[in-house]
Amino acid sequence: MDELTGVFIQEAREQLADLESGLLRLEQHPDDADTINAIFRAAHTIKGASGVIECGFIANFTHKIENVLDRLRNGDIEVSASLTGLLLRCCDQIGTLVGVLEAGQTAPDDSVQTTGDALLDELTVGYLDVTADSRLAPPTPDAPQSETDGDGIVITDAWHISVRFGRNVLRSGMDPLSFVRYLAGLGQILSIETIPDAMPRSEEMDPESCYLGFEIRLQSKASKEEIEHVFAFVHDDCELRILPPNSMLSQYMQLINALPEDNMRLGEMLVRCGALTPAELEAGLAAQSVSQHDIETEDGDVTPAAAQIGEILVESRLVNKDVVDAAVARQTQVSEKQAVESRLIRVQADKLDQLIGLVGEMVIAGASTNLLAQRSRQRELVESTSVLSRLVEAIRDSALKLRMVQIGETFNRFQRVVRDASQELGKAIELTISGAETELDKSVVEKIGDPLMHLVRNAMDHGIEPTAVREKMGKNPCGRVTLNAYHDSGSIVIEVSDDGGGLPRDKILNKAIERGLVAPGATLTDQEITNLIFEPGFSTADKVTNISGRGVGMDVVRRNIQSLRGTVTVVSHEGSGTTFSIRLPLTLAIIDGFLVGVGKSSFIIPLDLVIECIELRDATTDRDFINLRGEVLPFVRLRGMFNIVAPEPLRENIVVVQYAGQKVGIVVDQLLGEFQTVIKPLSNIFRHLRGIAGSTILGTGDVALILDVPSLVQRTERNEVREMRLNAALPKPATPSEAMVGLANRREI
């Protein structure tokens, strides 16, 4: 039951996400019947699955929601803002109840129960009228409705369900009878036949194995998908076949042929349970006796079984031809859908993490093997290890792709956030999403949710102006928040933009001076003023609201993003809006690196950020920049940065890297080539170390440090800004070359 409950919790949260997104779409498009049906299916799935695991407090609460959605689906009530708002709050309550189940509690506490009862009362008073709507009453044991078609065939309005449970159902902790009992909740079971053929002799019987099978006639208004969901938790350990009401005789004959029992005995059971008449069974068995020659086409191709029997039945005037054609088309569509679903498989995240860890160890072992082969100078061994390295790289790429998920699912969660916040703030705000198909490592996606939440809520509260103010400024009364994602230079960039009033730089600076963060009279650049919003406890809000104003959100944003080896930048224009750009690595596990050496120390530079490598010709100069084809390229010396004591090399090299559009050079002694890098996190002792993103293990067993290129780029930018300020305070040189000399003389040590 623990495993079954875990599967339910995961699938329930997925269905809740679909239910919430469907309600938000329905609010924008009230007449969309497909959306209404999708919402109903999501709620019904949650209710059905909770009934299978015998979680009554979720099933009972969701049942009332399902009744409302059923009335909405049948046109008895109309879509309104109050209805969607109430149903969204019911979604939150279901999520809370799922959390109660996940915590191992047998029932919700008093506060949760009180909230749920209040929501159910609102649903009942506003949208349910049990006395007036007979569909909400429990099913009555009336006889099944029957009618006669044009050819005199009696058709019973009932589903036929054939289920054979697998041997391991009992071992998995599931009770086959519980599925049958819950099936009765969808309607009325008209008849049920137990299949004893699979039962072995007593001395051969395994008490832990299941040998049960049933032929069931169910009168219900449920859809086939809803009936299939009843057996969702044993989908892989049972054989389930469902025939809809008014099915053709050919479909029943296919069912008889597909099942393992004797055809005649199974046919007699179908007759006893009312699925077939004796005449129909006799006609169907006769149709199957047709020779192979009779069912071949002129081209010699054998027609599908459904079409074979259908044609024979049409000639015998047992069914109409259009019914046969519709059934064959229906069967083709079902087969195509099942083929697509069969290509999907659900894998636990822990198993993927374990796989990535093993692949990382394989990468390290492969590097060691390759190094030993190079030292041996045996050509055959070198070629063999080269092939092995290519295979390891392919396995690495395939394993990492398993963890890649689209960021659109994360973006879509903010539709609800924007809706609720806009109503609370009294502003008209819409959310625009682009780049939802951009893929990112699942571990990064899970950790980026909180920073994005803070940025979106701040954009709505601080960024978007009130509607009256926007109208006076000639803006669209409806503000816009935009979420965008795209790949750039081996990283993923996530942008949160708004078309509001921008950041008030004067107000930010005055607040910083008031709090002592900036000395009075200090001269700061626009970017430095903007970056003050990331200081702990900093806020320009005049009052604290439920959305923002406490001064903790932006500090959390920066710290969380830095923990992911990412950066966040801000571009703001007063009166037109603000854009926050988050730049993150695609994965946190394995990367392609460029191995360099300084003295006896080794360093790894992410290969995606490397532009080119050049020789530092004037190695004796004390300047920290060079002229790279007419462009000033600042650089940092790893020897001085890490205080490496080693003899000066005869030749130094510059590795040119680019991050967020900014180029920087890194001066090293040796260029050692590409290296598959397994990222090992640093200990907490080194959490304040700047310029290092992690470590890795080389093939020799030595440890190499992975350089934090974004930190190095920011460091050079700060140095350039300070040098420009000093340069602005002195007379301007006459030529660009004199400017470079002056900048070198005044550089910061």
> In whole numbers, what is the pLDDT of the chain averaged over residues?
77
Q: Give the global pTM.
A: 0.59
Alpha helices in 602-691 (DSSP H): 638-641
Distance CA 529, CA 505 (A): 6
216-249 burial by CB neighbour count: b if 16+ within 10 A, else e?
bbbbbebbeebbebbbbbbeebbebebbeeebbb
Contact 352, 402 (CB under 8 A): yes
Q: What is the pLDDT confidence band of residue 314, given thresholds at 50, 70 and 90?
A: low
Contact 585, 564 (CB under 8 A): yes
Burial of 454 (0-12, 13-18, 19+ CB in 10 A): buried
- Tokens describing residue 176: 């086959």
pLDDT tens by residue, 511-556:
888 887 788 877 777 777 888 888 776 776 655 555 554 445 687 7
pLDDT tens by residue, 170-222:
887 788 888 888 888 888 888 888 876 667 777 788 888 888 888 888 888 88
Q: Is 619 left (phi over 0), alpha (psi -120 to 50) or beta?
A: alpha
Sequence-distant (6+) residues with CB within 8 A of 174 are 4, 233, 234
Highest mean pLDDT among 45-54, 280-289, 449-458: 449-458
Tokens 């894998």 appear where?
347
Distance CA 412, CA 376 (A): 56
- Return the percentage of the chain with pLDDT > 90, whole number: 11
Q: State how far Cα 603 lies from the chain centre.
A: 34
Distance CA 491, CA 565 (A): 11
Q: What is the pLDDT confidence band of residue 496, given thresholds at 50, 70 and 90?
A: very high
Looking at per-residue confidence, does 621 or 476 come out higher? 476
Q: What is the pLDDT confidence band of residue 578, given thresholds at 50, 70 and 90?
A: very high
Instruction: Give the chain's count of helices (H) and strands (E).
Output: 24, 23
Q: State how far Cα 427 lies from the chain centre.
A: 30
Q: What is the pLDDT confidence band of residue 46, given thresholds at 50, 70 and 90?
A: confident
> Cα dist. 187→109, 223, 571 in Å?
32, 11, 60
What phi, psi does 563 have (nearest 5°)? -65, -20
Lowest mean pLDDT among 265-279, 292-306, 381-395: 292-306
pLDDT at 292 over 50: no
pLDDT tens by residue, 652-700:
899 999 887 788 999 999 998 888 788 877 777 776 677 787 888 887 8
Lowest mean pLDDT among 339-348, 432-441, 485-494: 339-348
